[in-house]
């Protein structure tokens, strides 16, 4: 997710150990793990919503494409009915 290597992770861990101390480090690790999980869930939810919106748009486009031929068929039928009535 963050695209960091082992050496960068080790440096971050050592700085966190110095700044937070050994007592608070596990607590901060749990917090960061929970936060990372929540961010991942939010991103996944957003992706699903965007995919759903795209699918809905495609369905609307298909509906529009189908409406035009149906309208044309209705006009043809009405003209046909008008011709048979006038005959």
**Which sequence spans correspond to the domains of the chain?**
6-80
pTM above 0.85, yes or no: no
Indicate the Cα dihedral angle 59, 65, 67, 68, nearest 10°.
Answer: 170
pLDDT (tens digit per residue) in 44-70? 999 999 999 999 999 998 888 888 777
Question: Do 20 and 31 contact (CB within 8 A), yes or no?
Answer: no
- The number of beta carbons lying within 10 Å of the beta carbon of residue 25 is 15
pLDDT (tens digit per residue) in 5-46? 888 888 988 898 888 888 888 898 899 899 999 999 999 999
Q: How many CA atoms lie within 13 A of 87 on its CB side?
A: 6
Degrees, nearest 5: CA angle 19-22-28? 70
């Amino acid at each position: 997710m963050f695209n960091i290597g082992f050496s960068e992770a080790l440096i971050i861990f050592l700085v966190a150990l110095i700044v937070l101390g050994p007592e608070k480090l596990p607590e901060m690790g749990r917090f960061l793990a929970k936060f990372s999980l929540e961010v991942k869930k939010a991103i996944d939810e957003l992706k699903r919503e965007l995919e759903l919106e795209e699918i809905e748009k495609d369905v609307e486009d298909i509906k529009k494409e189908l409406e035009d031929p149906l309208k044309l068929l209705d006009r043809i039928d009405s003209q046909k009915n008008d011709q048979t009535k006038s005959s």
